[in-house]
Amino acid sequence: MLIARVVGDVVATIKDDKIVGRKLLIVREVTTENEIVGKP
């Protein structure tokens, strides 16, 4: 299992029919101490 923090959301003018009505989020992996893992 990975722990992640939401850092933003995605806004698109055109979406595939499969994802209409769903929210797309940008996440970053973090440690249990809430520190960012890896490069951005």
Let me know: does 2 contact 31? Beta carbons within 8 Å.
no
Give the pLDDT score at 12.
Answer: 87
Residues pairing with 17 in the sheet: none
Task: Please report, in angstroms and rounded to a whole number, the separation of the first and last CA atoms in the chain.
Answer: 20
DSSP assignment, residue 37?
Answer: P
pLDDT in tens, 1-40: 999 999 999 998 888 999 888 999 999 999 999 999 987 7
Q: Where are the domains of the chain?
A: 1-40
Give the pLDDT score at 29.
Answer: 96
Give the pLDDT score at 7.
Answer: 94
Which two three-digit tokens encode residue 34? 């809430």
For the entire predicted model, the pTM comes to: 0.66
User: How wide is the angle at C-alpha 16 spanned by C-alphas 10 and 22, nearest 5°?
Assistant: 50
